[in-house]
Amino acid sequence: MSADFQHRHAAHCESGTVANLLNHHGLPIGEPMAFGLGGGLSFAYLPFVRIQEMPLIAYRVPPRAIIRGVRKSLGVHFRIERFSSMAAGEARLDALLDQGQVVGLQTSVYWLPYFPEDMRFHFNAHNLVVYGREGDEYLISDPVGEHPVRCHRDDLNRARFAKGMLAPKGTLYFPTAVPGRDIPPKAIRQAIHRVAWSMLAPLPIFGAGGIRGLARGLGRMDRGKPDSLRLVGHIVRMQEEIGTGGAGFRFLYAAFLQEAARPAERPALGEFAERLMDIGDGWRAFALAAARMVKGRDPFDPPALAEHLFALAAAEKGFFTELKAAVS
């Protein structure tokens, strides 16, 4: 069985999945609005949390925070289910699909065979939509893919029940009550306020302070150690490669601010969007400089990269201070 589902290509898996599910349930919402209402933008640098030998660096909020934020802002109810056994999770998914339900899933990236080989890493908080099944093949709308794909039952089961950090435990979800199409202006302003507040946290691991913390770490780095270049590449991967819409979600959030200006009743947000696009260009310049050093086209110069990051930290601090004032 397959439901009539419209696949739409998105930059990021969680905001794309939420937006596409809500559209299916009659709430016209784009990825930027879902990302913004979910308060998706962030920055975190946790040098003491190591994943695959690299420190945790994120340009976004933790997994599932976007769903939670959208739920809160819009008053949408999602039913979220987790399973203790693969058999139970598989049976429940099949039953929902047979009822014509379109279902969001949390999965591992590594075990999805339709992903390009070089993009398959052990990240357990990927999101996608299943909209039907034909025999042992699931019909999948993966928002970061251009087109819908198919995935065999055994592969999807493995991806849904991968173990380790952020283990999905077969998590599936679908909206049960979707309110009208009007988004309350206050909800949008509050979502922006939350992001600005967290970006200004007075800690060296989150927000603008986290960017400064990372810059300090980069500046202190021993350029002779092979791990140093690996860290530089890792930063750029987290910023660009893993479905961020460019510049570590800054371009995506700018799209949201632009769209939000009218419904939030704050026309100035349009100018903030422009400014954030410029900050995003700064992040892209940093990524390019870093990648050239990784490739050996430019000499490896950690202090120069650190300078880039200090400038970006200062720009974001100023930006979010004013943004916070604009929505207060």
Partner 1 sequence: MDVQDVPQDGNATLGGHRKAVYARGAGGAIVAVESAGWEAEEIVTLQAVDVFDAYAKAARARVVAGQSSPLEYWMYARRMDIATFAQSCGVWRWRIRRHFRPAVFARLSPELLSRYAAALGVSPETLRALP
How far apart are CB 101 and partner 1 at their closest, in Å?
Answer: 26
The DSSP element (H or E) to which 152 belongs, if any, is strand 149-152
Binding to partner 1, residues 149-178 (CB under 8 A): 158, 162-165
Q: Is 31 in the site for partner 1 (CB under 8 A)?
A: yes
How far apart are CB 158 and partner 1 at their closest, in Å?
Answer: 7
Burial class (CB in 10 A: 0-12, 13-18, 19+), 294: middle
Task: Give the chain's end-to-end CA distance (angstroms, integer).
Answer: 48
Radius of gyration over alpha carbons of the chain, in Å? 20
**CA distances for 309 relative to 215, 217, 231, 281, angstroms:** 5, 11, 14, 13
For the chain, what's the residue count?
328
Q: Is 50 in the site for partner 1 (CB under 8 A)?
A: yes
Count of residues in contact with partner 1, rule CB under 8 A? 56
User: What tokens were used for 47?
Assistant: 């040098």
Binding to partner 1, residues 69-108 (CB under 8 A): none
Buried residues in 52-80 as b, exposed as e (16+ CB within 10 A)? eebbbbbbbbebbebbebbbbbbebebee
- Nearer of residues 92 and 158 to partner 1, judged by Cβ: 158
Q: Which of 246, 248, 266, 320 binds partner 1 (CB under 8 A)?
A: 246
How far apart are CB 120 and partner 1 at their closest, in Å?
Answer: 7
Q: Is 122 in the site for partner 1 (CB under 8 A)?
A: yes
Q: Which of 91, 288, 314, 325 binds partner 1 (CB under 8 A)?
A: 288
Residues that bind partner 1 (CB under 8 A): 9-11, 31-32, 50-53, 110-111, 116-122, 144-146, 158, 162-165, 229-230, 233-234, 236-237, 240-241, 243, 245-247, 251-252, 254-255, 258, 273-274, 277, 280-281, 284, 287-288, 290-292, 294-295
